[in-house]
Structure 1
């Protein structure tokens, strides 16, 4: 039987959801006389090619201001994706990898591959993360003092509330939201210390949860930019949206292999989702954030007290 042209197959597979795979399979079988197994082989071949192309995309055509990183668990394996925000406010998938947990070594390798494709961070970057230790370690290893970290406030709120009884959660949700919405850094730090002291008397674990990483939770506040960019960069909502796209694309897959199947489906989902992503809120004011990050990095360098190991990788753009 004559097989369909490559462009036909790729156009079908790029926008394909797992729910429609059976329909596409039947269409190819009817139109081209292909067996079901051959259609399956074609899908694997072409989705693998799409994944390879996806992972080799050049990253030196744009200047990035911020990076969102998070993982999505698919049948026991963690798919970690990296979404960058350009100086024009546009979102773009920078990296994708698979691991059992947010493993620092695996994520470090992904970061290095991004740099090999031209990813530049000369003036520093804002990293918005959920607080995983492996993720934090990888960022420090590769980007060092060029990384300004903002912890997700939604994750922090959720983690603290999980330690409290149900009847206490409404009050503490309100108190924590007041803390996270405070625009004055000194006042926010005072509020945080007071809340930690109160929690210590109720549940020491909750107090420890709030205290852990509180400086990173208040990064935008410290930079004086919470009111301007808190909506865009105070949480990992951007990456959560990407994870939702992966979930929608894969929800009807009933059997997962141990190979690159999860990565192939995830790449297809992200490529499709990118087409509808909107610019971040207040994108026209991103130069303000760029200057603040650059000043933060310069202050670290000038004080000769780097917060982390300086990367041995060049940050210079290719010319």
Structure 2
């Protein structure tokens, strides 16, 4: 590594700090450092020092030229050494190119994390003394397209996913001069190492059996095998698609959604005890205890006409909501609900709220895909697992 031998007058530096903004001091210091760094580079290239006579020299120093260097604290002006042959080149501006690339990546990351393109332009102007238009930010986002496409289409046959969580959320997209709702289908799997992966998503016009079948077919074509258990809400089209496309898989109805459906029919007054009883049914440690609690609830409230719809809903949906008991006990809290996937939806929603209305479906696919890639990379890193020790 090149050694930089220079000294700073700390009294002057202290005076500068007292009289100038911190950015100005930093800029001045960086100018000194980089100018001397480039001078040392030229000395190494020449294999001698300035004014040093050398009869075997092959090139001569030829002064300097000015060049701007964009940093995250602003733009600085550097004295770049040159030689008469023009063969000497400093590596500082390779770092300059990387700085521009880092700026591009940072802009993309800001948008992915929910910063509006309008705010991105202001941030870049303040940090880098550069003006960036909203259209430029949008164009930069298109650099994500091949990356997202490759991730979405990656093969799934190198892992077996025991549990599959699926859900749909709605976004707003501008289409043919109108604002329309689009359904975003998302699938998350838990593999044999008990780690979660976001294994696919697609955007469709609405949530329907045919669209769910198309989504599942795309996963199967990429190598997904039928899981042991599929966890979802009770959308009729989704249920039918699961039965048709994942032969041999059990379906676990999300207990949170199911309880919500039951509670919708619950009388408003004097039902605190009944509500608690219902929750305990799905928190029981074994299937036997759960079934006993369920039967006790029906026996206790069966003669009360206010509970007629409550009991019908419970009775009709109970079996689908307790499939998790067939799995080992340590998995129950993880697989009885779609909470793990709901949290992913919330992250998308948090960042999507900044945009509110996507300008087109491609932009929605690009941004949501980038968010999901980011979330996928951060889930269950290292030795961390979603489901821990097995019984």
Q: TM-score, normalised by structure 2?
A: 0.63
Contact 1:28 1:39 in 2 (8 A): no
Bigger mean CA offset, 168-177 vs 211-220: 168-177
1:106-161 alpha-carbon deviations (Å, 9 max, x no partner) = 1111111111112223xx4211111111111111111122x111111111111111
Offset of residue 190 of structure 1: 4.3
In the other structure, the counterpart of 1:317 is: none
Runs of 4+ deviating beyond 4 Å = 3-8, 26-34
**1:284 is paired with a residue of what secondary structure?**
coil
Aligned CA distance change for structure 1 residues 19 and 232 (closer, same or farther; 3 Å): same
In the other structure, the counterpart of 2:134 is: 36
Aligned CA distance change for structure 1 residues 127 and 119 (closer, same or farther; 3 Å): same
Aligned CA distance change for structure 1 residues 78 and 184 (closer, same or farther; 3 Å): same
How many residues are aligned here? 278
Structure with bigger strand share is 2
Contact 2:170 2:184 in 1 (8 A): yes
Report whether the alignment pairs 1:159 with 2:255: no
Aligned CA distance change for structure 1 residues 151 and 166 (closer, same or farther; 3 Å): same
In the other structure, the counterpart of 1:102 is: 207
Q: Hey, what's the Cα distance between the residues in 2 that align with 1:6 and 1:141?
A: 47
Structure with bigger helix share is 1
In the other structure, the counterpart of 1:207 is: 311
Q: Hey, what's the Cα distance between the residues in 2 that align with 1:65 and 1:215?
A: 20
In the other structure, the counterpart of 2:56 is: none
Q: Hey, what's the Cα distance between the residues in 2 that align with 1:31 and 1:116?
A: 49
Q: Hey, what's the Cα distance between the residues in 1 that align with 2:119 and 2:363?
A: 19
* Larger Rg over CA atoms: 2
Report whether the alignment pairs 1:248 with 2:345: no
Give 1:61-210 correspondences, 5 Å limit: 61-75=158-172, 76-121=181-226, 124-145=227-248, 147-196=249-298, 198=301, 201-210=305-314
Contact 2:232 2:338 in 1 (8 A): yes
Report whether the alignment pairs 1:17 with 2:113: yes
Contact 1:80 1:96 in 2 (8 A): yes
**1:167 is paired with a residue of what secondary structure?**
coil
Contact 1:70 1:130 in 2 (8 A): yes
Contact 1:183 1:224 in 2 (8 A): no
Q: Hey, what's the Cα distance between the residues in 1 that align with 2:109 and 2:150?
A: 12
Aligned CA distance change for structure 1 residues 203 and 257 (closer, same or farther; 3 Å): farther
In the other structure, the counterpart of 1:269 is: 371
1:216-245 alpha-carbon deviations (Å, 9 max, x no partner) = 111122x263x3211111111110111111
Alignment partner of 1:237 out of 328, 334, 339: 339
Aligned CA distance change for structure 1 residues 39 and 165 (closer, same or farther; 3 Å): same
Contact 2:330 2:388 in 1 (8 A): no
In the other structure, the counterpart of 1:301 is: none
The alignment's C-alpha RMSD in Å is 2.8
Offset of residue 42 of structure 1: 2.7
Q: Which runs of 5+ in 1 are unaligned?
A: 289-319
Offset of residue 66 of structure 1: 0.5
Offset of residue 281 of structure 1: 4.8
